Structure formats: structure tokens, C-alpha cells
Amino acid sequence: MTTLNKVVLAYSGGLDTSAIVPWLKEHYGGCEVVCFAGDVGQGADELEGIEEKAVASGASSCHVVDLNDEFVRDYVWPTLKSGAVYEGRYLLGTSMARPVIAKAMVELAVSVGADGICHGCTGKGNDQVRFEHAVYALAPELKIIAPWRTWGFKGRTDLIRYCEAKGVPVRSTAEKIWSRDRNLWHISHEGGALEDPWNAPPDDVWMLTRHVRDTPDEPASVLIEFESGVPVKVDGAALGPAGMVERLNDIAGQHGVGRIDIVENRMVGMKSRGCYETPGGTVLMEALRALEELVLDREARRLRDDLALQFSHVVYEGRWYGNAAREAIQAAIDSLMEPVSGEVVVELFKGHATAVQRRSPNSVHDEDFASFEADEVYNQGDAEGFIRLVSLPQAIRARKQRETAQGVS
Amino acid sequence: MTTLNKVVLAYSGGLDTSAIVPWLKEHYGGCEVVCFAGDVGQGADELEGIEEKAVASGASSCHVVDLNDEFVRDYVWPTLKSGAVYEGRYLLGTSMARPVIAKAMVELAVSVGADGICHGCTGKGNDQVRFEHAVYALAPELKIIAPWRTWGFKGRTDLIRYCEAKGVPVRSTAEKIWSRDRNLWHISHEGGALEDPWNAPPDDVWMLTRHVRDTPDEPASVLIEFESGVPVKVDGAALGPAGMVERLNDIAGQHGVGRIDIVENRMVGMKSRGCYETPGGTVLMEALRALEELVLDREARRLRDDLALQFSHVVYEGRWYGNAAREAIQAAIDSLMEPVSGEVVVELFKGHATAVQRRSPNSVHDEDFASFEADEVYNQGDAEGFIRLVSLPQAIRARKQRETAQGVS
Amino acid sequence: MTTLNKVVLAYSGGLDTSAIVPWLKEHYGGCEVVCFAGDVGQGADELEGIEEKAVASGASSCHVVDLNDEFVRDYVWPTLKSGAVYEGRYLLGTSMARPVIAKAMVELAVSVGADGICHGCTGKGNDQVRFEHAVYALAPELKIIAPWRTWGFKGRTDLIRYCEAKGVPVRSTAEKIWSRDRNLWHISHEGGALEDPWNAPPDDVWMLTRHVRDTPDEPASVLIEFESGVPVKVDGAALGPAGMVERLNDIAGQHGVGRIDIVENRMVGMKSRGCYETPGGTVLMEALRALEELVLDREARRLRDDLALQFSHVVYEGRWYGNAAREAIQAAIDSLMEPVSGEVVVELFKGHATAVQRRSPNSVHDEDFASFEADEVYNQGDAEGFIRLVSLPQAIRARKQRETAQGVS
Amino acid sequence: MTTLNKVVLAYSGGLDTSAIVPWLKEHYGGCEVVCFAGDVGQGADELEGIEEKAVASGASSCHVVDLNDEFVRDYVWPTLKSGAVYEGRYLLGTSMARPVIAKAMVELAVSVGADGICHGCTGKGNDQVRFEHAVYALAPELKIIAPWRTWGFKGRTDLIRYCEAKGVPVRSTAEKIWSRDRNLWHISHEGGALEDPWNAPPDDVWMLTRHVRDTPDEPASVLIEFESGVPVKVDGAALGPAGMVERLNDIAGQHGVGRIDIVENRMVGMKSRGCYETPGGTVLMEALRALEELVLDREARRLRDDLALQFSHVVYEGRWYGNAAREAIQAAIDSLMEPVSGEVVVELFKGHATAVQRRSPNSVHDEDFASFEADEVYNQGDAEGFIRLVSLPQAIRARKQRETAQGVS
């Protein structure tokens, strides 16, 4: 048996992590357990009374740290700027939250002199990778404990029985139907009937967004202001990073915006089906993409698209710290987005978020150039030479083939 | 003055190409003008009576060639399979049609012994590039004539006056508000008030799709069957390539599906704003993307995403013939999509096309693997080593930095 | 203790795999051990008498399979065509050999009804990954045994003692200085003094190539003929895949061609320093790259470069079977290289392999076009329009910035 | 006839640009001609007496600007850091020099109030694009004059006759065999017998590098020190950017290092054959690539390789100014190379530049990790899980196919 002195535990107040508290003490030589909860917008219901629950489960203390603005500013904004969307659909809500939580938790572990760190992630998912990767990069000397890969408990019944035996108060006993993860940016739903992709997502799975049939019959509009690819105001109000996302979640959710249904490839080599809701994030993605269209030239845009694909994998895998590739991609994106400032009006209606108006002081769209009438700057005759040179390889090839064919006959 | 014997003209029956007929005869030594119209689904109204119009304008004959199935089978399906979307939005409707039209026209020119070929594209757009590129690749000996880059006419008034002087019957005299291009896959709208991206697209611009507020209050469903990434049946009916697109356009248009509003980078170095409608195409993209999620592993999917980006540029630029890169990308895509067969149910509702059910005999999604319960195939302990090795570079770096820091102190 | 019935062992006749034979029998319930050696050109000295050695070590039999031509034809040629070079230097000799060996071994295991498969690779290298990946893809039901990850032996002394105890005859007792792997394409050297990259490779590490100072003072020439990117003749002789590589190894080695010294990133997250010799391979790479320069246009070439980078990782990782991305990349490469046929003269001199003459019936290089004198096909005036359109985004941006600056003043 | 007031001419003192001086005055209304020569290391012989020659040809003045350090620091170093090599061989010597020359020339034009700018590049090459692109990006209001695309002169004889008629003193009358361009980084040779790639480059084409047979029989060594990917010292001496390149050119040229023979794809759609000499550059590339191998992890390295390919095209095309993609790629490269500091010993011998020793304080190569003996940090058992998860998609696919096959039977 490994003996540890003090273990910091990622604690949610739910059944799993409540059971982990006594289990750690039992299996690591009576170690002290310090609970940690990073507030990334999972909701008051989850955080309320969490300190008391932790102590009642046997923890020595519970630290709740507000990470909302840091989460949005340092993880969400860079990802938004890059345009990263995992496998064409997933806006990376859970992926971005894990590193900020793990970092704060490692900092706590170091400050309280812990020698172990523990999480309640399953052994089949991505979160264990994201979490532990951060620990290896930031404090590799910490012993990582992942009970779900180790213990013999098979499901909730086992856990409830163990909690009762250890005197840990357990509130809910009902089986959970969906596996959920919520933060400011999104909520994910997995498991249960969703696992068969021939099943349409049932209505009761969704939480943040109304069904389209239940949305208002009048559209709403929201004006978003960006500076260098970063949202700075919503309808004229500088609400701060977290505040803007909250505001947009609220209004976009009412209009049914932001539902995603995907069968994705996990890092660990298997597929899983997820239903995600990202109301405010969907609005921001639409707005920023519409704005950059005014500013980025063809090559800059193509590079942005290419980097977005690469960054989507980096972010999905949660490889944030000590990762030179991540830093380099962000440096390139920051450079590209530097002039992407301006205003976008997004219309919300029946599940759609549509950028309907956009302008930028750095727009290189010019009505005078683009219109089909004659002008003085662009000489239409230029196109002839352009096309001829662009087509020269094909023209040479065609001529060569003809010569060869004639030579043969 | 260049003298030509016979010129094949891409003829639409509209004002511009009607004026070109006498203009060619006047400026190329009284050459014979043979008109050509490729039927790619632009609509009966455009093609009806086109032969008579051509002859009335002074052409010796007019050849209308049905390219509908060839267009969809050889240009649309490969692009659909690849997932190519230009600059994140544009489904490439016009881009794909130009090469098939140009090829048929070059074939006509060769068969009638023409020495010139002519189109009515403006000197500021992409179509001139796509068109002429095909000529250079297929028959570089043909003299290309692009009157809009050459003549002095400034607008419709000039053209109408010229037609009247030459005795060419001109039907419509009103100024066109929008510049439009229509085929089976889409219709594009450009120009006029759309040129300012701070203007939302006015309702009257749209033609194929209803406004969301005017769509049915009940969703419709459509079942699409794919074989190796190619649609083969819609609701059980094998309608042929063009037939399937028509059917889907009809139903999806009623439900308001497929509107796109983009400021895009043209090949010729300027931006333009376009509003596109691709109802059936939007449904097919959603369906195929949902199906491939069941089949493609992470690397295959990432390669598909990468190739899609590259292919979107190739297709947009219309560089189809004699283009080794195009052929190679298609070979890779064909290989990737070979196992992507199966069925997808797409729900159409209030402007949304949403894949709600999907299955494939080649699915590698496995409920047993993905669910969070214990199983015999996947050993949760494997994840520990996996994460450790994935994180090793970061762990080594952290250890090294610590050693360095300690060495300094 | 797991009990197995029959285990197929990748057997080299060396100390490690000789010790594995009794170890398997001891630890897997007296299982039968069937030895396997894939002949990929590791040399007669290694294969000579290998059957006797295997049986003397306790194996029931030893199967030696000639994989030379298959190795070169199905693994080396596709990699050569792609241009894949791992991290800019490594010609992938060992990486390509592992899959062909593993496949033959799995086939043997299936044909003799084995339930286990075993290799002698270390737990820190790439070969274990390449080997086991093939087993998982081809026969996942086989139990994989990797003794070096399991047993307690620490080094050669332990192994020699164990062999003596088990009555396994052991020939050499000296410590090996270098860890080596040899096949038709290359030989690798690792370990010992090489581990410190501040140490230059000592002269005695190299085996296939002479030191430059000891090479002939007169150059040699070799004429290589390619069909669609595949070598078919050397100096006019159709020697077959393996025969061509042997011939080129011989002559290029005498001229000191093909030494590589690299610190590479292994799959398993750490770096290692390797010295490789690939004499014939270096000649073939130079020749094919020089030939393709005559044929591939700019885009095709860029795509080839991009795919080469991707393929270098696929090959390095040995992810050959069941890998849709590998198949797709090869399909694209085959398409690109289809016209790359012709002849190349490579001069060998003082460690250099330099393509000095090259020609192809599909060359699109045309002296007439490229020379700087006037000609009728290429109109120099075309360049003006070309440059103007290529530069238009920058010209618009400059004009806009000027307007903005003036507006402010 | 366009009338201009003052034209700045890129002046080399050779026959072509000498003829351009009177030609400009004759064809642009007697405009003043101000000559410009950017010193980028083309050699004293070319620059000596250039002012007198310019004035004797009719120019009002001639400005020679020393751009050597700026050229190396702002154009060569970033390209070196990126690892960009065009089409696998070309170290981009001419490509990098054009933008720095064009920028200085535009600055001169603006400062002297010129309204035109002129160069002597041919209409078939890349340099016209690089040059004019810079003008469009930096001062689009300047009228660009490219006489070789306009005038009727066919070759040197015409030019000599014109110079004589205009009283311009012409020194050399012999036909030039090769078209050459020289700067600090390289010299290029094109034209003449080189145009046929079946001709080996004749010995007399090379200028900066000895033939291998004439090099010293003893190797030389040079120690290069880098900070964040930038060379800072050669053999302990801080010689400045230009000074370091000069020193390395000298020693490497003596050892025959840096000859390149390529058939490349020009921007303007045709191929050309070039022979280049880059002695010092070849040494620096070898050194920096060897150093980065110690520092960059696998992903960072792969990103560097990918960006190098993209950057090679940007640099080749000379699209330096107003190019957001160039700036973004450089930002990413700067980020990646930040820790690439250290020392490399390069051995020069018989045309080879080989990094034989290398070390970096930021090396993540660790002999302890990489050696095959047991250690405490890396647990060999980790590899088992790693391989199993990496191979899971293939294992699932194999299992599925087996189930399907069994289901059928």
C-alpha cells in the first residue's frame, strides 16, 4: 500500500467524489483529503453547500475557487479566435475547462504541501487525459490517483453502499440517466439512450436551450463588438468575459440556439455520442466568423482554417501546458486576428444565430472594387494575363501531350 | 483585327450574350457564331426558346446539351464526399458548374471545327478564370474571347442600344437588381444593396427557400441512403443524381433550409458578398457528415478535414482539368469514403436540416466500448500508461526546468 | 499464471530471444514455442543456422520466411514514392520493416493455431508499438507477450546466467556496444557513446558505408529507370525490388553515401539519438526527387510535400494495417506519381549522391518556355496583370490604410 | 505617351539597366532618372564605380544603400529559423533579397518625390513578381515600369546598338553565358546549357564553391552558437549578421559545401533549371536543424515542418509586405524557436557540412530516459496501455469485421 500524506481531490459534491474521500483515506494510509472545486460556471446548485458536504464526507477542508473569468479569457477566447471546432461540430466546452481546473488544483496542491492529487474521471474518457496531462506538465512529482481505473466498484449501487458503510451522507439515490458536464460555455450530455446513434436525442435531454417549436415567434437581435478577435461588448455593455457569455447564453437559449449532436472520436481510441448545448458560444462563433470575412485576405483565411483544425485537436486533448505547439499556434492566431475588430449584429430566431450586419474599420471589402462596373483601380484586362499564367502548367501539359501524340503517329 | 472562322459562344439568352453575337461577327471578320447552352438545371424559363433567340440574334445555330446528371455525378458528388466548403460557408454551386459547362463547350468547338471560344463573364469575377482555365487545359489552341474585358460598353443601357442597332430582339429592358446564377445545386445572388455587408439581405433576394417564418409548423423527415459516400436513394427511391437533388431541393426549400450569406475572397484578389441558396445540398452535407462520424477513425477524419480545406480551393478556382493535385485529392477522398455507407434520417424544420438518426454496417461506434461500465475488451488501466507516455515530453521538460532552476540556486 | 498452448516468437538467434524461449515455457504453463524469423535482408550471418539454434533453445520449430521482395515492393517503394523522411533525416528503414515482419508472423500464428505471440523489443522504443499495432489490427485475439516489459532481468549478464541455467547454448558473451537493426534498406546504430549528442559518431560505428576519406578518388555513375515513381532498372538491368536495392547499397556504400546522424522524437514521448546508413536508399531518393521535378507542377509538388510529412509519421509509427489514413495517402501519392517515369543518372563521389542528368517523357519543363528570350506561346505582358491581381489584397489594404490615415488628419 | 516626372530605377550597372536610363527618358516625357542600388552583398566588382556609370548613362544621381545586415537579420534569419526550403532544395537566396531591395527603393522613391519606379527584370521570371508586389503593398500610387515586358529589344545586340546610339558607354560586349544573381546568401546560375536537365552542370558554372575533388584533404570544424534560433557567434566571434555569413561562405566554399541543382516551378507557371551555391547558408541550416532536434518535441517539430513548407512558398513568391499570413507564420516560428539556443560543431569536408556535436541548455534529450536500461521515471509497463489505446480503432475494426463475417455465415 502506498502511503500518502495529503491528497487534493477534484470534488464535485456528487456521489462519486463523495465516495472517493473515505476511499482515499482507507487506501493511502489515512492520508488527509483536501477537496477542491473550481467554479467554471457549473451552476449554483452544484456548488451550494459543497464545503459542508466535503467535510461531512471526511475531508479536512474544501477550497472553492472562482475561475470563471480566467476560464473564458485564457481558454475560451483563444479557442474562439482560432475558429477551432472539433470534428466539425464540437465547440470544445468541456475540453477547455479541464486545464484551467487542473492548473488551479495543482496550485492548491503545491501550496498546501500535498503529495497526491486525485480525480473522479472514468478510465474510458478524455477527461482523465486532460487532467493528468496538466499534472505531468505542471507538477510531475505529484502522485496521481484515478480511483475509477483502480477500485472494484461497478456502479452507483456499489458506491452508495460504500458511502453508507463509511458514514458519508448521500442525497440522491436514483440512477442518473445522462452523464453531464456543465460550465459557462456549454453543457454536455452523454450515455443512456444516446449511445445508439439511431436514436434521435429525446427532448428531455436538453437543458439550456428551448426546442425550436417553443421559441418566440419574433426574432431578437444582439450587437457584439470585437477588438482583435476578442468580444468586448454585448449590446453596448462591457460585461467582462464571463458576464458576456452568461448574457448570450440566456438570450440565445431562449431562441433555441446551440444544440449539437455528434458521434466523435475520443482520444483513447473509441467513439462516443454526445449532445452538447453551447448557446452563447454559437452566437459568438457566428459573429466572429462573419467579422473576419471582412478583414482576412484569402491566404490569411486559409491559414486560419488550417490552424483551426490543428488547434481543435490540441484543445480537445487538453494538452495545454508545456506544449510548444499550442503556444506557437496561438501566437499565429493572435497575429492573424489583430486587425479583426468591429461590430456584428446577430439575429436569433427559431434556433438560428445569423450574422446579418457586420462592419470593421479594417475591412478590405470595398464595394467599389467588387461591383461589376468599370472603375479606375482595377483594370479588367489584368485578368487575362492572370488567367493565362495561372493556367500555364495545364496549357504546357496539353501542348506536350499533343506533341507526344503527334510524334507517335 | 483578328479574323476568326467560327466561334462557339456560351449563350444564356440574356441581354449580354445576345449582344455578343453581333459583336463577335463585327469584330472578328464576320465569323460564324455557334451558340452553346449547357443545361445544368438553371431552369426551364431560361432555356425555353433559347435556340430561336440565338438564331434571331444572328447565330448560325444553338446547341443545348443536358449536363444535369454529369454535373451532379462527376462534380457535385466528389465535392460533397470531400466535405469541401469554401471559407467555411460556400457550398461551391457555381464553382462546380463552370468546368462541366466549359468542357462540353470545348467539345462542341472541336467537333464543329471552331477556332474561337467566347463567354460573357465579367473581368472581375471568378467565372472567367474557371472557364478559361478549362479551355487552356483542354484545347489551348482555341482563341479565347472575353468581351467584357475588351469592349467599351459600360452597362445595360449601352447593350440595349447596341442590340437595337444590330436588330437583335431584346425582351426585358428593366435594370436587374441582383446578379444571379442558378443550377441544380444552388442559386447565387450578388450585387446591388448586398454589396454593403452592413445591409442584411432583403427578403426579396431569396428564391428557392422560404423565410423561416413562412415554413410549416410540423417537421418533415427524409431518409437518405449512401454507398461509399455517394447518395443513392432518397426515401427509398433511386432517382438518379439530378433527380435526388431536385427532390431534396423541393422539400428542403419549403422548410427554409440552405440560406448562406458570405463575404468571400475571390480568386482575383478582391472580396465580394454573396447570398446563396443550397437547400438540397445542405441536407446532403448534413447527412453525409453525420454518417461518416460512425465510420472514420480520428486520423482518417482529420485527413478528410485537411483535404476538404485544400479541395475547397481547387474547386472554387475551377482548376479541374489537367490538374494533378485535384486528381490526387480525389483519389484520397475516394479511399477514405469507401466504407462510408449507410442510412441517415434528416429532420427538416424551421430552416434546420438535422441528422437525427444514422446507421452504417461499417460503423466502428460500439455502445459496449463507449459506455462507462466495465467491459472485457477495454482495460481501464491501459489509460494510465497511455496518458503517461502522451505526457512524457511535458513531464521531461518540467523535470529539466526544475533541475536547471535548482542548479542555478 | 496465464497458460498458453502455443506461442509464436519473433526470433533472431541472439541472446535476448534465445533466453525468451525457455522463459515462455516456464511462465506460460509449458507452452509450445514456435520460432519465426522474417528475412528482410538482415544478412546471412544472422540467419545462418538459426533453425538449429532455435531448437537447441527449446523451440519446437523455426520458420524462416523470405520477405525481401515483399518488403521492398509493398513498404519501401510506397514510402520512397511519397518522399517521406522522418523529422527531415530518417529514411525509415526499421519502421518499414516491422509491419511486414509482424504480418508474416501473425499469418504463421494463425496457420499453426497459436494463441500467443511474443517479441523481444524493449519497453522504451518504437518497435514494440509497430509490432503490437499490427497484431491488434490483424489478429486481436492473440495474446501479446513482451518479456522486456515484464521480466526482472536487468541486462545481458542476467540473461546469460538464465540461459546457462536453462541449458540454452550462448555463443557470445561480450557486452554489445551498439544496439543495431539491419535490413535491406538500412542499418541503425543506437546506444552507448552515441547517447550523448555532444559526441561525434565514432568511426567504428558505421558498417555499410566507407568513411569519405577512404572512398575512391574517381566518381561512379549509376543510371536508374523509374516507372510511375517505382524503380524498375539499374544500369539497364531489371534486378527485381530487392536486387536493385542490394546493387545500389553495394556501389553507394563504397562511395560513402548514406550516413545519417539524428536525434529523433520517438513515439513513446522521449528522444533518442540514432546513426543510420541507407546507401542505396539515399541514391534512390535523390534520383526520384530529381525526376519528379521535371513532371510535377507547383501544386502537385506542394501536395506531395505535404503528404510526405504526414506519411513520414504514419510510417514511423508503423500504423500500417487497418489504417484508413495510410491507404488514402497512398492512393493520393499513387495518383501524383503516375506520370513520374524516366531516367536519372546519379553520380556517386565522396559521400555524395547527386542527380546530374534526368529526363522524362512526361516532363513539362520546356527550354523554350523557360529561356528568357521572346517566344510566341508566353506573352510577357501577361505577367503585368498576373502580378497586379496577385498583389491586389495588399494594394487594397495599402489604399484603405491611407484613406483611414487621411480621414483622421 | 505617359509622362512622368521622376523615376527611380533599380540599377546594376550592367548592360540592361544602362540601356533603361535613356529609354525611360525617351519614353516617359524626358523624366528624371534616379538610380538605386541596394548592396546585399553582390560584390565590390558590381558596385565599384556604379555612381559614375549611372551618371554617364544619363541618370541624375545614383544612391547606393548598404542593406547587408538588414537583409540577413530581417529576411534571412526568419527564413532560416523556419526551415523553409523551396521544393526541397532551394535555400531562397534571391527570393529573400528582392523584398529588402524593393522596400529601400520605394523609400527612396517616396523621399525624392518620384512618380515612377522601374526594374530590369524579365517578363518570365519570379523577380518581377517579388519586386512589383512590394511596390503595390508599400506605395501603390507609384507607376511601375518593366521595360522587358514592353520594349521591342530582343537581346544584347539590340541593347548595345541602342546604348551606342544614345551615347551610353558600354563596357562588355561579349554574350553572357549564364544569367546570374548574387548576394550574401547565395549565387544563382541559370540559362544556357543548364536549360536542358539532361546536361550535368559544367564545372565553369560554379563560382563560390570548389569542386569536391579540389577541396582540402583535411576536414575543418566550425562552432556556431545560436540564441532562440538565431546565429550569434561563429567560432566564438560575434561578427554581426552579415559578418557571420561572409565568414561561413568563405570557409564552406573552400570545402565545396552548398551546391544545389534544381528544376523548380516558378510562380509564373513554368519550370526552370537553376544551379545555386549557398555555402554558409548550408552550414547554418545543418547546424540549426541539428540543434532544434535536441529541443523541439514531436508535435512542435511537426508543426515547424508544416510551417516551413508554407513559408517556403511565401518567401519564394516574395510576398513579404502587407501579408498577414507571412506575419502569422513568423509569429508561430518565433514562438517555437524561442528555446532553441545552444552550440553546434559542424564539420566541413569534401562538400559535406555535418553537425557532429550539439548541445543546448533546453535540450529535452535525456540519456537516462533513452537508454534501454531500467530507470525509475519511465515505467516500461506504461507502453502496454499506450499501444493498446493507440491501436484501439484498428482492434475494434478487426473485431467488427469478424462479427460481420460470422454473422453472414
Is pLDDT at D380 greater than 80 in this prediction? Answer: no
Place of cell 427578403: B203
The residues of B annotated as belonging to the active site are: 16, 98, 127, 179
Which class for A381: exposed (0-12), middle (13-18), buried (19 or more C-beta within 10 A)? middle
Structure confidence at residue D402 (pLDDT) = 80
For residue B382, the distance in angstroms to the closest alpha carbon of chain D comes to 4
B355-373 pLDDT per residue, tens: 999 999 999 987 666 554 4
Contacts of D126 (CB under 8 A, 6+ apart): D94, D95, D266, D267, D268, D316, D317, D318
In this prediction, the answer to ipTM > 0.85 reads yes
What length is written for chain A? 409
Tell me which chain D residues have a C-beta less than 8 angstroms from the C-beta of A330.
335
Interface test with D, best of B368, B376, B389, B391 (most D CBs within 10 A): B389
- Joined together, the cell numbers standing for residue C327 give 491507404
Listed residue (B340, B365, B357, B362) closest to A198, CA to CA: B357
Tens-digit pLDDT profile for residues D301-346: 999 999 999 999 999 999 999 999 999 999 999 999 999 999 999 9
Contacts with A191 from chain B: Cβ below 8 Å:
371-372
Strand order in the sheet with D259-265: D179-182, D187-190, D271-277, D259-265
Mean confidence (pLDDT) of chain B? 93
Other CB atoms within a 10 A radius of the CB of residue D164 amount to 11
What is the model's pLDDT at position B378?
A: 65
Q: Stretch B140-164: mean pLDDT, rounded? A: 92
For residue C137, what pLDDT is reported? 94
Q: How many helices (H) and strands (E) does chain A have?
A: 15, 13
What residues of chain B, 324 to 383, have a C-beta less than 8 Å from chain C? 324-325, 327-336, 339
| The one-letter amino acid at C221 | S
**Minimum Cα–Cα distance from D314: chain A residue:** A299
Give the gyration radius of chain C's Cα atoms: 26
Q: Which chain A residues contact residue C389 at CB under 8 A?
A: 382-383, 386
C90-99 pLDDT, tens digit each:
999 999 999 9
Cα separation, B399 vs D338, in Å, equals 19
Q: How confident is the model at residue B374 (pLDDT cuts 50, 70, 90)?
A: very low
pLDDT for position B367: 67
% of chain A at pLDDT higher than 70: 95
**What is the per-residue burial (b if ≥16 Cβ within 10 Å, else e) of B313-342?**
bbbbbbbbbbbbbbbbbbbbbbbbbbbbbb
Positions of D annotated as catalytic residues are 16, 98, 127, 179
Task: Determine which of A293, A396, A400, A402 to mutate to test the interface with C (most C C-beta atoms within 10 Å).
Answer: A396
Which carries the bigger pLDDT value, residue B312 or residue C369? Answer: B312
Give residue C172's pLDDT band: very low, low, confident or very high (50, 70, 90).
Answer: low
Give the pLDDT mean for D258-265: 98
- Whether the pLDDT of residue D177 is over 60: the answer is yes
Nearest to A313 by CA among B312, D332, B299: B299
Q: How many CA atoms lie within 13 A of D150 on its CB side?
A: 15
Chain-chain contact of A371 with B195 (C-beta, under 8 angstroms): yes
pLDDT tens column, C372-404: 444 555 677 788 888 888 888 888 888 888 877
> Does position D370 have pLDDT exceeding 60, yes or no?
no
Of B299, B361, B384, nearest to D404 by CB-CB distance is B361
Give the model's pLDDT for residue B399. 81
> Residue A24's pLDDT is what?
98
* Nine cell digits for residue B370: 463507449
Catalytic choice (C60, C74, C179, C301): C179
Per CB-CB distance under 8 Å, the chain A contacts of B391 are 132-133, 136-137
Q: Kindly tell me if the per-residue pLDDT of D409 is higher than 70.
A: no
The alpha-helical segments, DSSP class H, found in C273-348 are 279-295, 298-317, 324-337
Higher pLDDT, D70 or A268: D70
On the question of pLDDT at A249 being above 80, the answer is yes
Give one DSSP letter per residue of A198-214, joined into a string: TSPPPGGG--SS--GGG
What is the average pLDDT across C326-332?
Answer: 98
The burial class, CB within 10 Å (0-12 / 13-18 / 19+), for A293 is: buried
The residue whose grid cell reads 443524381 is: B241
Give the chains touching A; criterion: ≥3 Cβ pairs < 8 Å. Answer: B, C, D
Average pLDDT over residues D380-401: 85
* Closest Cα in chain C to D392: C136
**How does A185-212 read in b/e, with b if 16+ C-beta sit within 10 Å?**
bbbbbbbbebbebeebbeeebbebbbeb
d(CA A315, CA A75): 9
Active site residue C127: yes
Please tell me what DSSP assigns to residue A409.
-
pTM score, two decimals?
A: 0.96
CB contact under 8 A, D198 and C358: yes
Count of beta carbons in the 10 Å neighbourhood of residue C63? 18
Distance from CA of C227 to the nearest CA of D (A): 18
pLDDT digits (tens, 9 = 90+) for B220-242: 999 999 999 999 999 999 999 99
Per residue in C219-229, pLDDT (tens digit) is 999 999 999 99
Q: Which residue of B has its CA nearest to D402?
A: B362
CB contact under 8 A, C268 and B325: no
Q: Is A185 helix (H, G, I), strand (E, B) or coil?
A: coil
The answer to whether B184 touches B245, Cβ cutoff 8 Å, is: yes
As a whole number, the mean pLDDT across chain D is 93
Alpha-carbon distance D334 to D343, whole Å? 19
Q: Rounding to the nearest 10 degrees, give the CA dihedral for residues D185, D191, D196, D200.
A: -50
- Give the 3-state secondary structure of residue D309: helix
CB-CB contact of B158 with B17 (8 Å): no
Between CA B387 and CA D388 the distance in angstroms is 12
pLDDT exceeds 70 at position A372? no
Q: Do C302 and D313 touch (CB under 8 A)?
A: yes
Give the per-residue pLDDT at A45: 87
Question: Nearest chain C Cα to D380, which residue?
Answer: C123
Residue A148 sits at φ, ψ, to 5 deg, of -65, -20
- The stretch A143-166 carries a mean pLDDT of 92
Mutation target vs C (from D149, D255, D293, D373; most C CBs, 10 A cutoff): D293
Which residues on C lie below 8 Å from A404 (Cβ)?
361
Cβ neighbourhood burial of C226 (10 Å; 0-12, 13-18, 19+): buried
Gap between the Cα atoms of D21 and C329, Å rounded = 54
DSSP strand E in C325-395: where?
342-349, 352-359
Q: Which amino acid is at B370?
A: A
Q: Do C322 and D397 touch (CB under 8 A)?
A: yes
Q: Which residue of C has its CA nearest to B386?
A: C268
Q: Which residues of D touch B399 (CB under 8 A)?
A: 377
User: B270 and C396: CB-CB below 8 Å?
Assistant: yes
Which is higher by pLDDT, C161 or A374?
C161
Q: Which of the two residues, D44 and C305, has the higher pLDDT score?
A: C305
pLDDT score of A176 = 73
Q: Are the C-beta atoms of residues A372 and B179 closer than 8 Å to each other?
A: yes
Q: Are strands B220-227 and A6-10 parallel, antiparallel or unpaired?
A: unpaired
